Amino acid sequence: MDEVLRQEKKYLISLDRYYYLSRQFSRILMEDPHSSKDGYLVRSLYFDDIDDTDYEEKISGVEVRKKIRLRNYGPNSKSAKLELKQKQGQWQKKRSLTLDKSKSLRLIAGDYTALLECKSDFADECFGIMGMRCYRPKTVVSYTRKVFISKENETRVTFDHHIKGTEACFDIFSHDLVENPIFDPFMVVLEIKYNNFLLSYIKDIVQSCNESERAISKYCLGRPMLDNYYF
């Protein structure tokens, strides 16, 4: 199991501002080796219970809340990560477990007993939550992610663009997944993820955008049948 505890800031910027900031960050940060050109594909399958509790707690601004997702990096992935992300005030705690493709497909089909075969306390915890509260797949959200990293404070700067989604099919390994745009294609979600404090030279670049922080939720964007939540 991997565990990360950090703070996150999110901003909504225009596509032209994204290209400008990318050039700025490329001068002072390392580019993620998988993030050439405009970035790499990310696919996330979000789960929720029968009452959509995680969705409702997000749009209500509940301070202590969570979300569960299964994430891979496109149809050619050989595995996926089951992630439990918990928010407590300004801190985000993310725990994850890598599952092979066969176990991932069983989760997508609603067979959570695959987690019991992992011999992991974290997997057992997820099995308990998802089984007891009747979690089911709800939506798939895909996007292209450009990443810059700094070893200082384990800082990651990510740009997510061309955000698409579907509630019709949940197979994140499919080569034929039909998705529709669920967000303005000319807007980009900028996220700054860091430990302890935000480095001043990164903060200065972000502040040059003159944008306010936004509580953008990709999971909520992927639920168009509900009251869509952007900010």
Rounded CA separation 110/153 (Å): 38
**CB half-sphere exposure, 142, CA atoms < 13 A:** 23
Q: What is the pLDDT of residue 92?
A: 92
Q: What is the pLDDT of residue 197?
A: 86
CA 38 to chain centre: 17
Instruction: Tell me the pLDDT band of 226, cut-offs 50, 70 and 90.
Output: low
Residue 175: what are its φ and ψ, rounded to 5°? Answer: -85, -10
pLDDT digits (tens, 9 = 90+) for 63-97: 899 999 999 999 999 999 999 999 888 889 999 99
Q: Indicate whether 144 pLDDT > 90.
A: yes
Residue 103: what are its φ and ψ, rounded to 5°? Answer: -70, -35
pLDDT digits (tens, 9 = 90+) for 88-102: 888 899 999 999 999
Question: What is the number of H-type helices and E-type strands within the chain?
Answer: 6, 10
Q: What is the pLDDT of residue 170?
A: 97
Q: What is the pLDDT of residue 225?
A: 64
Rounded CA separation 148/35 (Å): 8
Task: Indicate the pTM of the whole model.
Answer: 0.93
What percent of the chain shows pLDDT beyond 90? Answer: 79
Rounded CA separation 74/86 (Å): 25
Q: Which two tokens stand for residue 173?
A: 């390994």
Residue 25: what are its φ and ψ, rounded to 5°? Answer: -70, -30
pLDDT digits (tens, 9 = 90+) for 28-62: 999 998 888 889 999 999 999 999 999 999 999 89
